[in-house]
Structures are given as C-alpha cells and as structure tokens.
Chains A and B, each alone.
Chain A
Amino acid sequence: MDLSLIIMQLLSGIALGAVLVITALGLTIVFGMLGVVNFAHGALFMIGAYAGLYLASLTGSFWWGLLLAPILIGVFGMLIEFVLIRRLYGRSIDDPLLLTFGLSYILVEGVRIVFGSDGIPFPTPPQLIGVLDLGIGFFPRYRLFVIVLVAVVLLVLWLTLEKTRVGLIVRAGARDPTIMQVLGVDIGRVWLAIFGLGVGLAALGGVLAGPMRSVNPEMGSLVLAEAFVVTVIGGLGSIVGAVVAGLMVGISISMVALFAPEMATIVMFALMAVVLLIRPQGLFGVRGRTA
C-alpha cells in the first residue's frame, strides 16, 4: 500500500467530512443556543438540495443556486421558528423534538408530491467537472471545491461569533437569555436568526451534496443520522466539536474503507460508542448540560 493511495484516501475522507461538518454545524448551533433537537434537519438538507437544483435550473447557473438556496431555505427556517417552534420554548425537550419529527415527514411527503419519488439529476457545475492532477493522483475538482468552501464558511462563522457585536449577543443569549432581556436585547429575534442560520447551513449542505449524490426525497434521513453521530461525538452544542468530530468521522470512514470496506459505515457508530464511554458529554461538550 503506497503513500499516495493513503493521501488520496485521506483527502476523500476530508471531503466527506466537510459535508458532515456543515450539516452537523447547523444541528449543533440550534441545539446549543435554543435547546431544540431539530429532527427536521435532514429534511431541510434535502429541501436545500431541491431548492438549489430548482434555482440553478431557473437561473441557468449552479452558483446562483448555491448562493440563494441556503438564504431562501434559511428564511423558510425562520418562518418555521416563528410559527411553530417559538410556542414550545420553555417546555420539555420532547415537544420540539416531536414537532420537528412530524415536520420532517410533511416536508418529505411534500417534495414527493411536487417532484416525485424518483431521483433528479443534479449536474456538477461545468467549471468543476473532472479531476485535478495533484501530482500523486487525481482528485475530483468538485470535492476539492467543497473542502475549500466549507473552510471559508467556517472561518466566516467563527469570525462573526467571536469578533462581532452580533456574535457577542448570540453567545451571551445562549448562556443567559433572561439577563440579555434585562439589558434590552430582543432575545426572540436572536433565536429567530439562530434557527434561520441552522436551517440555512442544512440547506447549504444539501446543495453541496447535490452534485455528488443523487437528489431524492429520502436523501436527508441518512444525513440526519450522520449529523447526529457527529454532534454527539463532538459534544452537543459545541461548534468546535462539530468541526473536529465531522472531520474525524469522515477520515475514519475513509481509512477503514481502505482496509475493511464492509466496516466503513459501522466505524462511525463504533467511534460514537467509544467517545460516549470515555467522555459521555462528547469531546468538546460541557459536563452536566441538559438544556
């Protein structure tokens, strides 16, 4: 087994991890800040892919789909928060969980009715078709693009949360909403924005996954399970955790695929079990947090 193969495999794992990171991030932000376990996250990922595809065919360019779909679906997410989720704050964690679970069914069935249950082709943008010669092997351009784009999104998100006033309000709001309200911050608007951001990230994940996987109504259910695993490994609500765990899962799957391909899917759950045994709160989770 030569070194170049291992490097190519590592790169595949990072690209796989990048999609996991972006999807798990939305899930973990919404949970961390709002205490809502969003079971509709996978369905919104799928809706994002369909929206991206639809907008891309409408405008004739993948790039408009990539830009507009997350924004549009993010706004749709805000609508969900405003109409449905908002009423359940302060109640037990099960209520929003059940609500979003039901919502996911409605979304999936809705897409089935409008677009049918068959998959729809989502062509790779022409600029990113084909492979790039890395000197040691060939790697799909599109997957390299996904790695770079996710890195940029992460950087922007981190800078916003750490270095801006908005970020300060968001972080403070997550820690003590009552004090924030006393200080005159409209915490309801913060939560609205957070939920919108989380959903927008799910949609971005969906648009990015579109050209790699077939686009179909069920594509979200598998992703939801993966995103939960990543979130649990990283620690519920931890952004750093989602990034580290997402990459860890992607690379583990890839490396195991090299030596024992039939174990590739199981490794993710094995990893989760090990982490839960050693650090029940996840790698970057806060002990005793119940939300």
Chain B
Amino acid sequence: MPKAGSTSRIPRRTALAGLSAGAALLAMPRLGRAADETIRIGFPTPLTGPFAAEARDQVKCAELAVKLVNDKGGIGGRKVELLVRDDKLNAGEAATRTLELIEKDKVHAVVGALSSAVQLAVNEVTRARGVIYVSISQSDTINEAKDFSKYTFHEALNPHMTTAAVARQTLKKGMKVAHLVADYAYGHEMLRGFKRAQAAIGADSVGEILHPFGAADYSTFMPRLMSMRPDVLCISNFGRDQANAIKQAVDFGVKQQMKIVVPVILHNQRLAVGPDVFEGVVGGANYYWGLETQSKSAASFNAAFKAANGGAIPTDYGAYGYSGVGSLLAAMQAAGGTDTDKVIDALEKLQYDLTKGPQHYRKCDHQSVQSVLVLESKKKSAMAGDNDLFAILANDNGSDDMLRSCSELGHAT
C-alpha cells in the first residue's frame, strides 16, 4: 500500500477542467448515431467456476437468439449485439461488470446471471440505473416486492414452482423426508419450497443438513443422513455440487435405502457423472430436448441449435439463455426500438413460445408463467442414445396457480 499523499497529484484546476469537459461530452446529444445504432444486450454469466458448463450453454443459446433476429434484418433495421461478461460467480464482480456494461458499453438491457445470489447483485445495479434486467437464474426473492422493480423480469422458473412439481411426483402423505442443502440463497430457497410442498402433501421432515457451497467432499454428511432413515432425500444444490453430492450419496448406498430427489436435475451434471449414478434420480427442469416429440417450438429450437452448434443439443440452462434474450428481443420488436418504458410495456403484454409452449410475464411481479417438467434419469440400458438421458414424468402447464400470489409477494393488487 502506498503511503497517503505519496501518489502524484493532478493539479486541481486540470482535474476540474477535465471533469467538466467529460460532463459536457456526456451531456451532448448523440447526434446521428440513433438511426443505425446497434442494440446491445449485456450478458453477465459465470464462465469460470463450478457453473461454467451451464454458463457456456447459456451463452451459446443467447447467441443463437441474437443470430436469428439479426438474420431477419435485426430490430427496425438495427443489428443486435450480445456483450458477454464473466461474472466469476461472484456478486461483487457481477455488479462491477454490470455497471461497466451500462456505463461504458451503454447496453440497452441486461440478461443473465446464473447464481441466485449473483442475480440479486445484478438486479440492484440495473434497478438503480433504470435498465431492464431479464434474470435467467432460479430465484424466489427477485419477484418479491422488496427486490422487485418495474425493470426486473424473471424468465427462469423459481424454486416454488420446481419444488412443488417435483414434490407432487415423488412425495406421499406420511413419507419421511431428509434434506441436504447448499448453504446459500439457492439452497435456502429450494429448502423453503420443498418444506412448503411437503407440508401441503402431508410428508414429514426428519432433518436437514446445510453444506458449504462448493464442497468437494460430502462423505461426512452421509452417515448422519442415513441414520435419519428417510424415505426420500432431497438434495438442494446446483452445478458440480449436485454431481458430487449425488455421486457420494450413491457410493454410501443411499439409493438402497431412499429415493433421491433434486429440485432441478441438470443435464450437464448427469453427463459429468454418468448414468449409473443418476439412475432413478428425479428432478424438475425448465427444458429437455426430448420435449420435441410433444412441442413444436422445442423441435424448431433444437433444430436451430443443432444447426448452429455442429449437431449438439441444447441443455436446460442453455434454453434460459435463448428464451431470456429471445423474449426481450421480441418485446423490443413489438415496441419498435429500445425505449425502456415501451419495452417494459411490451414485455408485460408479450405472449411468447420459444422453446416449450406458451409463456408470459405476470404483470404484478414479472415472473414468467410457464410449464414445469419433472424428469427421471434413465438407466443405462434404457437409453436409446448418448443424449437420451431422461424420461419426462410430468409436464405441468403454466398457470398462475403454480406461483405464489401477488399479495403474498408483497405487491399491491
């Protein structure tokens, strides 16, 4: 650390002159730029760290959404550009990058952030600056009155929706349920969702263990979980934590004693640990490519993704990148440009079907009302091919009933 006063000082007069010149420059109307100006969408996502696999899929899908619009001539003749930034799964980093996107890169809207904790930081910044933010991370708090703003939209499912759907498929009255939970916003919200759902069904909690986020070893939690003798073990964590926790639970013979259930079953993590470990694990999802037999939009989304990515299939969290950016661009199209209030209005009125069926943003809290899938991981012998990972147990159509009510979230109704 340099000592105070040891740094060279800029003369006050120069500084003042520089500042006022800068201010004048900023205040000047941006003449002649508006007409052919590209539309810039900021996209913070954790490209490095334990959620990197999911983040990269999001980027690919977001780029696809942008490409499809540009191929059709852009929005009102203006090309769209995606500005991807690595938020490093860190709230501070995400806030800084978002601020940079807004101040320096002059983005017209922000889409992204994968971690529930990080998205709240992004939301703080966009809310303060009056920039539209379409969150594609699972969160139960971003729609609540205290975090909400008219600029905040939530394209992802929320824990309340997925846990309820999963619980409906797996829990019965009188069942004993144990919880292994990642000790941060996502885990807490999922636990809250499961407990609410299990209370409604009449199943009982026999215990819950909070584990540190990003732990590599889960073995030390297993003896105690098994001693609780539950019928169902709910593992509420994300990314690599999910892969490791399930793998180690299986090593300890947990599956012989109980069923493993997760709020969100992840395509990439299933690939990372293999079919034997995941066999029989049930979880919720926003998207699965196998939906193409039931949904026309899924089939065309799959086809577009395959064409752009050398035959690869889109994943669950990837699909969020597509629908998040896609819905925003559709609203800009409808609003005829990037005027924030007009786009907000268009988003609120938007009926869109990009990946899996009809969706719309509920007016009071801007939560996307959409279908929820419940998937079961197939056993190796039942897989028709390398990509045939899950069986679809349920596809609950989107409705207001699956959300908490607006008054419950603290909104004036």
Closest residue on chain A to residue B277 by CB atoms: A121
Q: In the complex the two chains form, is B251's CB within 8 Å of A143's CB?
A: yes
- B265-313 contacts to A, CB under 8 A, are 268-269, 271-274, 276-277
Cα-based distance from A253 to B224 in the complex (angstroms): 14
Closest residue on chain B to residue A130 by CB atoms: B253
Q: For A216, what are the chain B residues with a Cβ–Cβ distance below 8 Å?
A: 240, 272
Q: In the complex the two chains form, is A13's CB within 8 Å of B253's CB?
A: no
Q: For A138, what are the chain B residues with a Cβ–Cβ distance below 8 Å?
A: 226, 252-253
Closest residue on chain A to residue B219 by CB atoms: A12
Q: Which of A80-88, A90-98, A257-265 contacts B (4 or more CB under 8 A)?
A: A257-265
Cα-based distance from A261 to B56 in the complex (angstroms): 32
Cα-based distance from A15 to B222 in the complex (angstroms): 13
Cα-based distance from A266 to B219 in the complex (angstroms): 16
Closest residue on chain B to residue A123 by CB atoms: B274
Q: Decide: A212 near B217, CB < 8 A? Known: A124-B251, A142-B251.
A: yes
Q: Counting CB contacts under 8 A, is B15 at the interface?
A: no
Q: Counting CB contacts under 8 A, is A152 at the interface?
A: no
Q: For A157, what are the chain B residues with a Cβ–Cβ distance below 8 Å?
A: none
Which residue from B50, B215, B224, B253 sits with its C-beta under 8 Å from A140? Answer: B253
Q: Counting CB contacts under 8 A, is A219 at the interface?
A: yes
Q: In the complex the two chains form, is A218's CB within 8 Å of B50's CB?
A: yes
Q: Decide: A119 near B273, CB < 8 A? Known: A213-B217, A214-B244.
A: yes
- A249-276 contacts to B, CB under 8 A, are 253-254, 257-258, 261-262, 264-266
Min distance, Cβ A124 to any Cβ of chain B, angstroms = 7
Min distance, Cβ A48 to any Cβ of chain B, angstroms = 15
Q: Counting CB contacts under 8 A, is B212 at the interface?
A: yes
How would residues 322 to 337 of chain B score, 1 for a CB under 8 Å from any chain A CB and 0 otherwise? 0000000000000000
Size of B's binding interface in residues, CB under 8 A:
38
Size of A's binding interface in residues, CB under 8 A:
40
Q: Counting CB contacts under 8 A, is A222 at the interface?
A: yes
- B216-234 contacts to A, CB under 8 A, are 216-217, 219-224, 226-227
Q: Counting CB contacts under 8 A, is A286 at the interface?
A: no
Cα-based distance from A80 to B394 in the complex (angstroms): 54
Q: Decide: A131 near B272, CB < 8 A? Known: A212-B217, A222-B214, A254-B220.
A: no
Cα-based distance from A12 to B248 in the complex (angstroms): 11
Q: For B214, what are the chain A residues with a Cβ–Cβ distance below 8 Å?
A: 222
Min distance, Cβ B285 to any Cβ of chain A, angstroms = 18
Q: For A142, what are the chain B residues with a Cβ–Cβ distance below 8 Å?
A: 251
Q: In the complex the two chains form, is B240's CB within 8 Å of A265's CB?
A: no
Q: Counting CB contacts under 8 A, is A9 at the interface?
A: yes
Q: Counting CB contacts under 8 A, is B261 at the interface?
A: no
Closest residue on chain B to residue A259 by CB atoms: B224
Q: For B224, what are the chain A residues with a Cβ–Cβ distance below 8 Å?
A: 5, 9, 257-258, 261
Q: In the complex the two chains form, is B247's CB within 8 Å of A212's CB?
A: yes
How would residues 2 to 40 of chain A score, 1 for a CB under 8 Å from any chain B CB and 0 otherwise? 100100110011011000000000000000000000000
Q: For A223, what are the chain B residues with a Cβ–Cβ distance below 8 Å?
A: 216
Q: Counting CB contacts under 8 A, is B77 at the interface?
A: no
Cα-based distance from A258 to B225 in the complex (angstroms): 10
Cα-based distance from A123 to B276 in the complex (angstroms): 9
How would residues 53 to 73 of chain B score, 1 for a CB under 8 Å from any chain A CB and 0 otherwise? 100100000000000000000
Which residue from B210, B212, B253 sits with its C-beta under 8 Å from A131? Answer: B253
Which residue from A131, A139, A219 sits with its C-beta under 8 Å from B216? Answer: A219
Q: Decide: A264 near B212, CB < 8 A? Known: A12-B220, A214-B244.
A: yes
Q: In the complex the two chains form, is B183's CB within 8 Å of A214's CB?
A: no
Q: In the complex the two chains form, is A265's CB within 8 Å of B243's CB?
A: no
Min distance, Cβ B327 to any Cβ of chain A, angstroms = 27
Which residue from A12, A124, A219, A266 sits with its C-beta under 8 Å from B222? Answer: A12
Which residue from B211, B212, B247, B276 sits with its C-beta under 8 Å from A214? Answer: B247
Min distance, Cβ A62 to any Cβ of chain B, angstroms = 14
Q: Decide: A265 near B212, CB < 8 A? Known: A119-B243, A119-B272.
A: yes
Cα-based distance from A72 to B244 in the complex (angstroms): 27
Cα-based distance from A88 to B1 in the complex (angstroms): 28
26 pairs from A and B in contact (CB 8 Å cutoff): A2-B227, A5-B223, A5-B224, A12-B219, A117-B53, A117-B56, A118-B53, A118-B268, A118-B271, A119-B53, A119-B269, A121-B272, A121-B273, A121-B274, A123-B276, A131-B252, A143-B251, A213-B217, A214-B269, A214-B272, A214-B273, A216-B240, A216-B272, A218-B50, A261-B211, A261-B221
Which B residues are within 8 Å of any A CB, using their own CB?
49-50, 52-53, 56, 183, 209-212, 214-217, 219-224, 226-227, 240, 243-244, 247-248, 251-253, 268-269, 271-274, 276-277
4 residue pairs, one from A and one from B, having the closest CB atoms: A119-B272, A121-B274, A257-B220, A8-B223
Which A residues are within 8 Å of any B CB, using their own CB?
2, 5, 8-9, 12-13, 15-16, 117-121, 123-124, 130-131, 137-140, 142-143, 212-214, 216, 218-219, 222-223, 253-254, 257-258, 261-262, 264-266
